[in-house]
Amino acid sequence: MKEKKIEIKKKLMSIFSPRKLVLWLSILILIFTVPTFNKSAMSETQAIVTMLCVDKVDDKIKVATTVLTPSQDKKANFQVYSGEGETLGYAVDSISLAMGKEMGFAQCKIMALGENICDEGVMQVLDYMTRTKKVGRNAVLVSFTGDVIDFTQAVANLNLEKSLRLDRIVSFDKRYILTQDSNIETFYIGYYSPISLGIMSKVKLATTEEFNAIEVASADAGSSSGSSTDMNSTGDGGENKKFIMNDGTVSLFKQGKHYLDMTLDEVKKANIFVNDAQKGTVVVENVTDHIYNDAKVVVNILKKDIAVEPNFKDGIPIYKTDVSLTVFIDEVIEENPSERLLRRNQDFLTNALIEKIKQKMESDMREIIEYCQDNKVDLLGVYKHFYALKNKDFEKYLDRVGEDYLNEIDYQISIDVKSEN
């Protein structure tokens, strides 16, 4: 018996002996390798989606995507596919079915949401796309007006003709976006925060005429506009060709639903409160002193520091904002410019100008505060600051006033302007 046992043991051990182990390993390698002989590249088996557009039309979800397809010349080539269905899942599946490929969303860096779906609430769409379809949460969120397919086509054209991506257009300059880059994650964070505020850029779909008209109009007005000519094709296509137009509008969402739109002007004003938006311009008029003579001065903000100090005094919340600006004088528009302007080594940031800048900034800031109060949106992070820094008092205050907490706050603003020297 014992001998038999030993023999069995020996046999068992011989299976795992080093020399046999090599054999096992090679068999293992073969098992793993054989199926891969015919495995084609993932980019061939999956449709690589770079942008996804979703909207709701007549109770049906309509989805359009730009899909990366290889081309002979060394350029990117996008094709637009669309589908619809009762739910988002069905709509995506219908595209998949039509293409004969699995949809791969890993490269999807932009999600565009149509007006209707924005009005109805976007959380379900985002949840499905990020959880089930694994769209990265750093994908940029954009809302748009117009037809889904037209919009996607316009984006694809943009990619093809100008090799520009929508996300870069939306966020090429921090002056024109609000608070943060609007990606899915920041939208989620906004949504789950107590004030439940989501922000995303809004782009429009315009025909050639519309676009040209806006361009002319903005040139007339003399103020800068968010629509840069660079990113808009100037009508080399047919009459029906549509264009992406970014006029700087920003959509605000409450509880995941579209709440209101902000114009570029309002965005710029709101951005004064935002530390991330470092750059900006201030235009002041009627500056008169020893250098200027009823001049219109455009001042460029080089650096901006914002210190926020929430406080309570006798139960009244005080929201104190210190803005410290470092500026640089950009343009001086004057009828008869004095020769002093040409002198070097002279500080052109005169007291009168500083005063004007302060006035202008404060009025802008007051305006946006009023805007927030009127619309009950906490764009400035008032809730966050009070909650974090004056928690107990603020909770008491919230119990008292509820949703209208913005209205009773005493906003104190102090502005400091420095020259770049």
Partner 1 sequence: MKINYRQLSIITFMSFIALKFLALPSLLYIESKNMSMFVSLILMIIDGLYAFVILDLMKKSGEKNIYEFMKNCLGTVATKIVLILLIIKYALVAGNISKGLEFFVVENLYTEFDWFVFVLPLMILVGFMVYKGIRNIARVSEMVCWAIVIGLIYIALKALSGMDILSYLPFLKDGFKPLVDSAWIHLSWFGSATFMFMLFGFVDFREEKKSKMIKYIIFAILIVELLYFVFYGLFEVTSPTHNYCISDISQFSSTYSAIDELSWLVVSMWIVAQAVQLALYSYCLAQAIKFLFDIKNNTLPIIIVVLYIFAWSFIGENTVRMERIFFTPFASIVTFVAQYILPILLEIVYAIKNKKKRAKDRIERVKDEREKNRDKKEINVNI
Partner 2 sequence: MKVDAVKTLYEIKKKLHDSGDLKSRTVQFFGTQITLCYIAPITDNELLNNTLIYPLINFSDEIKDEDVVKVLMDKVLANQEVTAFSDLKSAVDKMLAGNTLILADKAEQILGCDMEKITVRAVSEPPTSVVIKGPREGFTESLKFNLALIRKRVKSDDFVVKMLELGEKTKTQIAVVYYDSIADKTVVKKILKRLNSIKIDGVVDSHYLVSYLERNKHSLFKQVGDTEKPDILVAKMLEGRVGILVDGSPIALTLPFILLEDLQNSDDYYTHPIRVTFVRALRLIGVILAVLLPGVYIALELYHYKILPTEFLITIMNSTQGIPFSPFIEILFIILLFEILYEANIRMPQYFGMAMSIVGALILGETAVSAGLVSPPAVMIVALSGITFYIIPGQASQFSILRLLGVIIGASLGLFGILLFCVFILSYLSNFDSYKSAYLAPTAPYIEEDQKDSYMRKTIDEMKRRPKSIANNKRNTVRRGSYED
Q: Tell me the longest C-alpha to C-alpha distance in the chain.
A: 118
Distance CA 158, CA 156 (A): 5
Check binding of 142 to partner 2 (CB under 8 A): no
d(CA 98, CA 125): 21
**Residue 391 binding partner per list partner 1, partner 2, none, with a CB distance cut-off of 5 to 8 Å that depends on partner kind:** partner 1
The SS3 of residue 358 is helix
User: Quick one: 30 or 342, whose CB is closer to partner 2?
Assistant: 30
DSSP string, 158-198: HHHHH---HHHHHTSSGGGS-SS--BHHHHHHHHHSTT-EE
For residue 229 the two structure tokens come to: 């000519």
Nearer to partner 2, 12 or 41 (CB): 41
Pairing of strands 250-254, 257-262: antiparallel
Q: Which residue in 183, 225, 233, 321 binds partner 1 (CB under 8 A)?
A: 183
Examine residue 57 and tell whether it contacts partner 1 (CB under 8 A).
Answer: no
- Helix, strand, coil tally for the chain in percent (to 5): 40, 30, 30
| Binder of residue 227, out of partner 1, partner 2, none (CB less than 5 to 8 A by kind) | none
| CB 401 to partner 2: min, Å | 48
Q: Pick from partner 1, partner 2, none: which does 74 bind, CB < 5 to 8 A by kind?
A: partner 2
Distance CA(95)–CA(51), nearest Å, equals: 14
Binding flag, residue 140, partner 1 (CB under 8 A): yes
Distance CA 344, CA 339 (A): 11
| Site membership for partner 2, residue 16 (CB under 8 A) | no
Are 162 and 154 in contact by the 8 Å Cβ rule? The answer is: no
Strand partners, 46: 102
Footprint of partner 1 on 191-230 (CB under 8 A): 192-193
Binding mask 89-108 for partner 2 (x = CB under 8 A): ---------------x-xx-
Choosing from 47, 50, 82, 184, the residue that interacts with partner 2 (CB under 8 A) is 50
Q: Please identify, using beta-carbon distances, which residue of 171 and 350 lies nearer to partner 2.
A: 171
If you count them, how many residues does the chain have?
A: 421
Helix/strand/coil for 332: strand
- Distance between CA atoms of residues 322 and 293, nearest Å: 30
Q: Counting contacts by CB under 8 A, is residue 109 touching partner 1?
A: yes
Considering the rule CB under 8 A, would residue 189 count as an interface residue with partner 1?
Answer: yes
286 interacts with, out of partner 2, partner 1, none, CB within 5 to 8 A per kind: none
Nearer to partner 1, 28 or 97 (CB): 28
Q: Which of 41, 240, 402, 421 binds partner 2 (CB under 8 A)?
A: 41
At 79, phi and psi to the nearest 5?
-120, 150
51 binds partner 1 (CB under 8 A): no
Of residues 125, 152, 276, 253, the one with CA closest to residue 200: 253
Among 70, 100, 222, 402, the residue binding partner 2 under the rule CB under 8 A is 70
Say which entry of partner 1, partner 2, none residue 192 contacts (CB below 5 to 8 A, set by partner kind).
partner 1
Is 76 a binder of partner 2 (CB under 8 A)?
A: yes
Contact 413, 366 (CB under 8 A): yes
Residue bearing tokens 């014992």: 2
Nearer to partner 2, 36 or 351 (CB): 36
* 136 binds partner 1, rule: CB under 8 A: yes
Residue selected from 84, 147, 150, 167 as contacting partner 1 according to rule CB under 8 A? 167
* Residue at token pair 């676009």: 211
Minimum CB separation of residue 126 from partner 2 in Å reads: 19
CA distance 258 to 331: 39
User: Looking at residue 340, what DSSP letter applies?
Assistant: G
387 binds, among partner 2, partner 1, none (CB under 5 to 8 A by kind): partner 1
Q: Examine residue 46 and tell whether it contacts partner 1 (CB under 8 A).
A: yes
Residue 415: name the closest of 330, 370, 353 by CA. Answer: 353
39 binds partner 2 (CB under 8 A): yes
Interface residue list for partner 2 (CB under 8 A): 18, 22, 29, 32-33, 35-44, 46, 48, 50, 68, 70-76, 104, 106-107, 109
- The residues binding partner 1 (CB under 8 A) are 13, 16, 28, 32, 42, 46, 104, 106, 109, 134, 136-140, 167, 171, 181, 183, 185, 188-189, 192-193, 381, 384-385, 387-389, 391
